[in-house]
Chains A and B, each alone.
Chain A
């Protein structure tokens, strides 16, 4: 461990590392190993539980290895039609919400990136102010209800159509683009729409992919709007399905939505549902991670 933990590239090496620094290197290796283990442990535990038998879980034998290995629980959960209905809902909500959010965010970010535009400051302020002050839960709830959006996917899609952080990331990206291409397009008589569609967007694939992922993961993971605005089980996203399983088994954090059958559901059904809910994220994570990182960096630039 010590041999690989040397000084970083950014920091020039001294003649020889002092004894204190070598002690630190050991400590650092131990600390970072601990971080990795502690981060991964809950995943290992839930996987082991999901493959274990009911009896072995109840008697507290499962930590990192499955005991009483079986796939029965997976079969039970996956044969529940409601689980798949809710899973499909999550996919539909995520696709629609992400598409709309991406379109609105791109349009507004492009407008905000035009420094010479009159009223730009006001347009930026309108967006940024909402980062620091919002109406709050109750007025939002009242609004969505009185617009008649309850029990429609618009209750999930519309109130979260633009994330201001994402908006600022995109704005910073558009501002960093060279203006020459757009200017020559303007000389050729291409309008704003044509320039955006045919010149700017093809050059923005990386940032569009990042935004797509930001929104898609956020909508995939979201549960509260679905929980708040959907009254019928067949409209729930899968996160609410999971939430009701969990709430049922812990005695009900909230009395309204816990179903009676949930109370009898075993711990490994919860484990399996948790695994199946996070599986898509875990599968794509290795490929999307760097997009997120670059997106956050971009957002950190002063636009």
Chain B
């Protein structure tokens, strides 16, 4: 098992540094190919995968600017310029699903980012190894379930005959048709995300916690800091790089809110709060066949997502000095 470096970024996204190392013995491509052709040959199939299934679809977004006929040319038939972008920017449904996306994304971030930190800190105060392992094992479990199973559990528990409504009835309340009420959808969605992700989310923090120098705590004690102050002045700064890294990643996936789970949990009755950009473009594109229109929405979403990652990364590099690259 490896320890976390102090900067703990998830991705090694630092290619310039690698090439810089090479500078003293600069080789020509011809020499490199002759020497390492076997290595390069191992990269051929993976590269083919990336080009066909990752980069070709990026180019495929060109259908957002062209009229696409299902079954026709992969890249569309005729140029229509920004027509589809103008269409969705004037589409009231688009603005509604965009708002829903922002709200659900913000709520998810608000709960699913800090709660793993809290849980990790609580777990860190458990001294008995066995108990700590036990709680961890239980808490990681939901992460391994299919989103279909999680949605099934949610629907079963919240159905009219489900256990939540039993509780309400026992408390003398009326049963609630949770899955049919737009007002409940966000709560349900975020709760199920918390249930599934918080335990697993503690792993990186727990690893970071073990790397904090025990001497820092001793010094803090000498300075008369109680445990709360130690947590505030030693523990939290110790896991800050991990926090920042995960925050950047979370912000980057802000708009890509759990598409699959929403698709499984929503229904036309809850569309007013539950329908998000990705589910809307799925219905518009795949279900109704307006591929170009849906691609325009998708491209808009991807560009915003990329912008969010880049700006979060830039901001954090400038302010706290931690960044993904």
Interface residues of chain A, those whose CB is within 8 Å of chain B, are 4-12, 14, 18, 20-21, 24-25, 28, 31-32, 35-36, 38-40, 42, 45-46, 49, 57-63, 104-105, 107-108, 110-111, 114-128, 130-143, 146, 158-159, 161-162, 164-165, 168, 171-172, 176, 191-193, 196, 217, 220-224, 228, 239-240, 242-243, 246-247, 249-256, 267, 270-271, 273-274, 277-278, 281-282, 285-286, 289, 292-294, 296-303
A223 touches B147 (CB 8 A): yes
Question: Are the CB atoms of A172 and B12 closer together than 8 Å?
Answer: yes
- Quick one: which of A59, A162, A192, A222 contacts B42, CB cutoff 8 A? A192
Q: In this assembly, does B171 line the interface, its C-beta being within 8 Å of a C-beta of chain A? A: no
Docked pose: A298 CA to B203 CA in angstroms: 11
Residues B124 and A104 in contact, CB atoms below 8 Å apart: no
Known: A134-B57, A239-B146. A39 touches B138 (CB 8 A): yes
Q: B65 at interface (Cβ–Cβ under 8 A)?
A: no
Closest B residue to A38 by beta carbon equals: B195
- Can you spell out 28 A-B residue pairs with CB atoms less than 8 angstroms apart? A4-B126, A10-B210, A10-B217, A12-B221, A31-B122, A39-B195, A39-B199, A45-B153, A46-B152, A108-B42, A111-B42, A117-B39, A123-B47, A130-B50, A133-B306, A136-B57, A141-B285, A142-B60, A162-B49, A171-B12, A172-B2, A224-B260, A243-B264, A246-B148, A254-B263, A270-B152, A282-B141, A289-B140
| CB <8 Å contact, A135 and B58 | yes
B291 and A161: CB pair below 8 A? no
Decide yes or no whether B78 CB sits under 8 A from chain A.
Answer: no
Q: Are B146 and A132 touching (Cβ within 8 A)?
A: no
Write out the residue numbers on chain B whose beta carbons fall within 8 Å of the beta carbon of A12: 214, 217-218, 221
Whether B58 lies near A246 (C-beta < 8 A) is no
Give the dominant DSSP class at B's interface.
helix
A135-B58, A267-B156, A300-B4 known; A158 and B287 CB under 8 Å? no
Contact of A192 among B29, B39, B210, B252 (CB under 8 A): B39
CA distance A203 to B60 in the complex (A): 41
Whether B82 sits at the interface, judged by CB under 8 Å, is no
Known: A133-B306, A136-B299, A224-B260. A126 touches B47 (CB 8 A): yes
Contact residues in A for B123 (Cβ distance below 8 Å): 32
Task: Flag if A28 contacts B43 (CB, 8 Å).
Answer: no
Question: B residues bordering A, Cβ < 8 Å?
Answer: 1-5, 7-13, 15-16, 18-19, 21-22, 27, 29, 32, 36, 38-40, 42-43, 45-47, 49-50, 52-61, 63, 68, 71, 74, 119, 122-128, 131, 134-135, 137-142, 144-149, 151-153, 155-157, 159-163, 165-166, 169, 179-180, 195, 199, 203-204, 207, 209-210, 212, 214, 217-218, 221, 226-228, 230, 242, 252, 260, 263-267, 269, 278, 281-283, 285-287, 291, 294-295, 298-299, 301-302, 305-306, 309
Task: Identify which of B127, B151, B160, B207 contacts A9 (C-beta below 8 A).
Answer: B127
Q: A126-B47, A196-B42, A271-B156 are in contact. List 7 more A-B contacts (CB 8 A).
A: A4-B128, A35-B138, A135-B54, A136-B302, A256-B287, A296-B204, A298-B1
A249 to B154, CA, bound (A): 13
Are A8 and B125 neighbours in the complex by a CB distance under 8 Å?
yes
In the complex the two chains form, what is the Cα distance from A141 to B68 in whole Å?
Answer: 13
Of B10, B36, B156, B179, most buried by chain A (CB within 10 Å of CB) is B156
Give the distance in Å from the alpha carbon of A223 to the alpha carbon of B3 in the complex.
34
B154 CB to nearest chain A CB (Å): 8
Selected from B144, B210, B228, the residue in CB contact (under 8 A) with A285 is B144
Q: Specify which chain A residues have a CB less than 8 angstroms from the CB of B61 in the assembled complex.
A: 135-136, 139
What CA separation (Å) do A282 and B137 show in the bound complex? 12
Determine if A137 and B53 form an interchain contact, defined as CB atoms under 8 angstroms apart.
no
Q: How far is the CB of A169 from chain B (nearest CB, A)?
A: 10
Cβ distance B324 to chain A, nearest Cβ, rounded Å: 9
State how many angstroms separate the Cβ of A200 from the closest Cβ of chain B. 12
B38 in contact with A193 (CB, 8 Å): yes
* Cα distance, A146 to B72, chains bound together (Å): 8
B299 surroundings in chain A (CB, below 8 A): 136
When A12-B218, A127-B50 are in contact, do A286 and B137 touch as well, CB less than 8 Å? yes
